[in-house]
């Protein structure tokens, strides 16, 4: 049975099933048609969801409202890693502005979740930005703040949210091979150790509990992939008991074994008891990060002949989007069965990007360094070929020669030699010591000056075309132009554009503050809209006046429930006010009637008295 195998059989004898219910075909026959169709389908579905037409940008104004959030940051990563041109410039402008604003509050992006820094780091890189020079003024270092210096009196430690912080911190750190400076709160080894020592007895990882989870296991493997060829030994106390001494490769192999055993007949996985698409997506990214061909590796082809790709495609919807699961999931109640889900779509897009990059010989999904040169690729392939030619009975001199050739590859690139594990075993059997490992990391570019840009004629025309009355719909364009103008060559008339765009930026910020203030006052003074009395009449009418003073687009930035609640409050208060006036009016009328009756009675009595008095006088 395939689940007992832990080594790859030669690719030419492995059959990989492709989606569409066809019989298994050789991996070499996979032409990417299904892959490209699925990628296009996700993008079309997401465009429809954010109200963009087929020819427009996915990253439109509505999409940009979520920049800096989970549903707003992963799609730009997928687009960028697929090389799909979109409104990346607009995204960078808005995310930098959002980061600046969020840094004005205590704990910056988030007090507990370090992954806020990591996710934004990857999205900024995917859009061509620099996470070490983030924010409007380029003075925010997301790498330092989010990874190796992530600590503040024990409150902001990297692992406060669990293993997630260490996994994505390592991924962010290695996204450009950033160096960890001396004196940092965390070293690379600290982060790696914190991942290794959380591995469970069944070989994988979990966010909580004693049973491994496919998603968390796959993400841990993704973070450790750059270290798979390392011979460094780590010693730690494992949670399942006893002191453990192991290499990263040992831990990753254990995780792979867990995933292989956890794979279901359709090629997919269960997480928290629910069959779902995201587990497939994360596993695909993990396997591609290790150079494992998901269409040919027998460990990840189910007994019914289904690959992990088949497992993922099982959740593809007719509208191009992806389902989270085919059944109700109590752990993810927002994902409706049968309905395409934004998280499922973004993770599927990332997985498909990982496959595409693997097939094209590009770097791992989260390795944003410049692509390898043709010369380096040839050398890597040559190393793999030489390793493949070795056996345990090869002459020692030949083994040393092949090892020397492997070591001639730059230390930061050796993880792309996919079959080094075989050489490692032969070296150990031959008694050949491992060489000392030295990897040169990027010393960092936080202080590097970004090259000057040109504020083109098109940019000037765009600035001139800005409407006189701005709304938040103009925010992305204003920020894009403003940011570009901050770092452009001098030109005639530049000062007038500086004044114009500064004014536009300030106007939009004022509108955003007004929107936020109205939202906050609705929540603070009126929510939950069930205790309304006349004392709030003035406040409710002032909030309504401020709300309706906004443009139609800006009013659309409110939650529908808040708008309905505000208008309901106004109606209730107006009805109460009217009732009071009616009641008061009735009271006055009644009092007047009583007075009138009393006066009339008195008049009659007086008149009667006068009448009797006159009769007695006679």
pLDDT at 19 over 60: no
Count other C-beta atoms under 10 Å from residue 527's C-beta.
Answer: 14
What range defines the domain where residue 492 resides? 457-572
Q: Where are the alpha helices (DSSP H) in 180-276?
A: 188-196, 214-224, 248-262
Residue pLDDT, tens place only, 213-226: 999 999 999 999 99
pLDDT at 353 over 60: yes
pLDDT bin (cut points 50, 70, 90) of residue 530 is confident
> What value does the mean pLDDT take over residues 36-57?
96
Number of domains in the chain: 3
pLDDT at position 617 is 45
Q: Among 456, 281, 277, which residue's Cα sits nearest to residue 353?
A: 281
> Mean pLDDT of all residues in the chain?
88
Beta-strand pair 25-26/234-237: unpaired
Domain shared by 405 and 505, yes or no: no
Q: What is the dihedral of CA 69, 74, 79, 83, to 10 degrees?
A: 110
Give the residue with greater pLDDT, 241 vs 264.
264
Domain shared by 72 and 135, yes or no: yes
pLDDT at position 11 is 35
H-helix or E-strand containing 403?
A: helix 396-407
Domain shared by 390 and 462, yes or no: no
pLDDT bin (cut points 50, 70, 90) of residue 464 is very high
pLDDT at 47 over 80: yes
Domain shared by 426 and 467, yes or no: no
Domain shared by 408 and 505, yes or no: no
pLDDT at position 589 is 62
pLDDT at position 151 is 81
Q: Among 211, 152, 142, 227, which residue's Cα sits nearest to residue 185?
A: 152
pLDDT at position 439 is 85
Domain shared by 492 and 560, yes or no: yes
Q: Is residue 321 part of a domain?
A: no
Domain shared by 420 and 484, yes or no: no
pLDDT at 2 over 60: no
pLDDT at 399 over 70: yes
pLDDT at 291 over 70: yes
pLDDT at 582 over 90: no
pLDDT at position 579 is 81
Domain shared by 513 and 548, yes or no: yes
Global pTM value:
0.82
Query: How buried is residue 121: exposed, middle or buried, by Cβ count under 10 Å (0-12/13-18/19+)?
Result: buried
Domain shared by 421 and 465, yes or no: no
Residue pLDDT, tens place only, 266-283: 999 999 999 999 999 999
pLDDT at position 612 is 63
Residue pLDDT, tens place only, 403-435: 999 999 999 999 999 999 999 999 999 999 999
Contact (Cβ atoms closer than 8 angstroms) between residue 142 and residue 132: yes
Domain shared by 476 and 410, yes or no: no
pLDDT at 14 over 70: no
Domain shared by 175 and 73, yes or no: yes
Q: Is residue 560 part of a domain?
A: yes
pLDDT at 204 over 90: yes
pLDDT at position 590 is 62
pLDDT at position 152 is 61
Q: Which of 45-54, 79-88, 241-250, 590-599 has the lowest mean pLDDT?
A: 590-599
Q: Is residue 87 part of a domain?
A: yes
Q: Is residue 367 part of a domain?
A: no
């Amino acid at each position: 049975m395939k689940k007992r195998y832990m080594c790859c059989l030669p690719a030419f004898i492995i059959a990989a099933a492709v989606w569409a219910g066809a019989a298994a075909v050789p991996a070499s026959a996979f032409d990417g048609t299904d892959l490209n169709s699925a990628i296009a389908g996700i993008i079309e579905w997401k465009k429809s969801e954010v109200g963009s037409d087929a020819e427009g940008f996915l990253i439109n104004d509505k999409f940009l409202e979520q920049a800096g959030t989970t549903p707003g940051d992963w799609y730009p990563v997928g687009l960028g890693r697929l090389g799909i041109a979109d409104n990346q410039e607009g995204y960078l402008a808005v995310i930098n502005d959002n980061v600046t604003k969020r840094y004005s509050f205590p704990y910056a992006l988030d007090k507990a979740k370090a992954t806020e820094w990591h996710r934004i780091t990857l999205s900024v890189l995917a859009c061509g930005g620099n996470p070490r020079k983030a924010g409007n003024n380029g003075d925010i270092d997301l790498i330092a703040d989010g990874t190796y210096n992530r600590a503040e009196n024990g409150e902001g430690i990297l692992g406060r949210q669990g293993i997630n912080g260490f996994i994505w911190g390592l991924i962010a750190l290695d996204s450009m091979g950033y160096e960890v400076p001396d004196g940092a709160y965390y070293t690379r080894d600290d982060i790696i150790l914190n991942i290794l020592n959380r591995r469970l007895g069944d070989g994988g990882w979990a966010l909580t509990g004693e049973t491994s989870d496919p998603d968390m296991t796959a993400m841990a493997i993704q973070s450790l992939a750059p270290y798979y060829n390392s011979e460094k030994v780590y010693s730690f106390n494992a949670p399942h008991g006893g002191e453990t001494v192991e290499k990263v490769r040992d831990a990753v192999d254990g995780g792979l074994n867990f995933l292989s055993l956890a794979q279901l007949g359709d090629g997919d996985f269960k997480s928290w008891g629910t069959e779902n698409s995201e587990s497939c997506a994360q596993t695909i990214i993990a396997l591609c990060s290790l150079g494992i061909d998901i269409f040919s590796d027998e460990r990840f082809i189910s007994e019914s002949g289904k690959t992990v790709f088949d497992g993922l495609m099982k959740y593809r919807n007719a509208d191009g989007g992806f389902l989270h699961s085919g059944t109700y999931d109590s752990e993810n109640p927002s994902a409706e069965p049968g309905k395409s889900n934004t998280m499922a779509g973004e993770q599927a897009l990332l997985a498909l990007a990982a496959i595409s990059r693997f097939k094209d010989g590009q770097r791992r999904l989260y390795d944003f360094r410049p692509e390898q040169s043709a010369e380096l690729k040839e050398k890597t392939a040559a190393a793999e070929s030489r390793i493949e030619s070795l056996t345990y009975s090869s002459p020692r001199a030949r083994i040393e020669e092949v090892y020397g050739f492997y070591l001639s590859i730059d230390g930061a690139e050796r993880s792309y030699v996919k079959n080094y594990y075989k050489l490692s075993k032969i070296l150990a059997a031959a008694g050949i010591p491992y060489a000392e490992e030295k990897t040169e990391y990027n010393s960092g570019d936080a202080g590097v000056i970004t090259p000057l840009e040109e504020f083109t004629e098109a940019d000037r025309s765009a600035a001139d075309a800005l409407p006189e009355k701005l709304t938040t719909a103009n925010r992305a364009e204003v920020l894009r132009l403003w940011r570009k103008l901050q770092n452009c060559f001098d030109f005639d008339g530049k000062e007038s554009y500086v004044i114009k765009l500064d004014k536009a930026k300030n106007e939009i910020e004022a509108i955003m503050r007004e929107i936020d203030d109205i939202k906050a006052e609705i929540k603070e003074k009126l929510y939950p809209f069930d205790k309304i009395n006349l004392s709030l009449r003035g406040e409710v009418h002032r909030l309504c006046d401020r709300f309706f003073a906004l443009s139609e687009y800006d009013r659309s930035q409110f939650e529908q429930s808040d708008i309905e609640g505000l208008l309901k409050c106004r109606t209730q208060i107006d009805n109460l006010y009217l009732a009071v006036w009616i009641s008061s009016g009735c009271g006055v009328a009644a009092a007047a009637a009583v007075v009138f009756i009393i006066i009339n009675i008195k008049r009659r009595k007086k008149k009667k008295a006068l009448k009797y008095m006159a009769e007695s006088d006679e």
